[in-house]
């Protein structure tokens, strides 16, 4: 049965999508059967690997709101071990439409049951908010990874995020754990990056992944070609960082 994990942080631009896509692809090339779910109406994960996929008939919106069978929304990719459930801008409406549904927090969890046995890992790329879509991801997940950008306001908003996680653990999903905190866009030339790293290390201790994702232009460029870093430039620092992160994830999350 798949281990389901979400990349969560209500801040935008911290590396959730980049991490979701590149971790999913790195798992797949390691021959670990993986499903990537794009749960963000901005659909950046979907477009970020559009070069590897055919266009899908159904999206995560159809699954959550129209009750379309999960399997009918799964798109194959050019990797044998990677499938995608894509998103579109329609998903903006889901945030509101879910409100009036029964068991609205559990919709994704319920729909995922039918495919859970087919994968080793299911990765959910969350939107930059703590609304119902993210709550659905947290309800469906076994664990979460929190990407944090190495910048001056890195820790701002973290209290609210950790509080939301505690509330979800208490009321919705007692099994939810934090499998790790990931430092992204690290620049070794900047003292600020080092300061953020040591602050996170003292706060999260072992929860902080040893692997740090460096600021790397290739990671920024790859999505505009619809490719993950591993296909765009396999030797780039970004591609290597995500391969090493996946080794750590496979150790931590079994």
Ligand X SMILES: Nc1ncnc2c1ncn2[C@@H]1O[C@H](COP(=O)(O)OP(=O)(O)O)[C@@H](O)[C@H]1O
Distance, C-alpha 186 to centroid of its chain: 19
In the complex, minimum distance from the CB of residue 163 to Mg ion, in angstroms, rounded to a whole number = 22
227 binds Mg ion (CB under 5 A): no
What is the DSSP track for 144-197?
Answer: EEEEEE-STTTTTTHHHHHHHHHHHHHHT-TT-EEEEEEEESB-TT-HHHHHHH
| Cβ atoms < 10 Å from Cβ of 45 | 29
| Interacting residues with ligand X between 53 and 92 (CB under 6 A) | none
Q: Which does 223 bind (CB under 5 to 8 A by kind): Mg ion, ligand X, none?
A: ligand X
In the complex, minimum distance from the CB of residue 128 to Mg ion, in angstroms, rounded to a whole number = 6
| Interacting residues with ligand X between 191 and 230 (CB under 6 A) | 213, 215-216, 219-220, 223
Strands 121-125, 34-38: pairing kind: parallel
| Interacting residues with ligand X between 11 and 30 (CB under 6 A) | 12-18
Determine which residue in the list 2, 4, 8, 16 makes contact with Mg ion, applying CB under 5 A: 16
Determine which residue in the list 128, 131, 157, 226 makes contact with ligand X, applying CB under 6 A: 128
Q: How many residues line the site for ligand X (CB under 6 A)?
A: 18
Site mask for Mg ion (CB under 5 A), range 30-59, x = bound: --------------x---------------
17 binds Mg ion (CB under 5 A): yes
| Cβ atoms < 10 Å from Cβ of 179 | 19
Contact 215/11 with Cβ under 8 angstroms? no
**HSE-CB of 47 using CA atoms within 13 angstroms:** 11
| Cβ atoms < 10 Å from Cβ of 180 | 23
Is 128 or 226 the residue whose CB approaches ligand X more closely?
A: 128
Q: What residue ranges bind Mg ion (CB under 5 A)?
A: 16-17, 44
């Amino acid at each position: 049965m798949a281990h389901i994990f979400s990349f969560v942080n209500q801040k935008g631009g911290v590396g959730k999508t980049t991490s979701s896509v590149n971790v999913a692809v790195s798992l797949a090339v390691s021959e670990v059967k993986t499903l990537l779910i794009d749960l963000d109406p901005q659909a950046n994960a979907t477009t970020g690997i559009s070069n590897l996929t055919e266009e899908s008939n159904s999206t995560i919106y159809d699954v959550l709101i129209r009750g379309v069978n999960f399997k009918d929304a799964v798109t194959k990719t050019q990797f044998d071990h990677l499938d995608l459930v894509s998103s579109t801008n329609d998903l903006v409406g889901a945030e509101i439409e879910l409100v009036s549904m029964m068991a609205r927090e559990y919709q994704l969890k319920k729909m995922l049951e039918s495919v859970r046995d087919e994968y080793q890992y299911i990765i959910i790329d969350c939107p930059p908010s703590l609304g119902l879509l993210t709550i659905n991801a947290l309800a469906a997940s076994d664990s979460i990874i929190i990407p944090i950008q190495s910048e001056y306001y890195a820790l701002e908003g973290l209290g609210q995020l950790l509080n939301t996680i505690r509330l979800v653990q208490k009321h919705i999903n007692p099994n939810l754990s934090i499998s790790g905190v990931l430092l992204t866009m690290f620049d070794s030339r900047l003292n600020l990056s080092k300061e953020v790293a040591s602050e996170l290390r003292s706060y999260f201790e072992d929860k902080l992944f040893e692997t740090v994702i460096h600021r790397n232009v290739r990671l920024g460029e790859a999505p505009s070609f619809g490719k993950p870093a591993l296909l765009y430039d396999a030797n780039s620092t970004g591609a290597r960082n995500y391969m090493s992160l996946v080794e750590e994830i496979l150790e931590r999350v079994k």
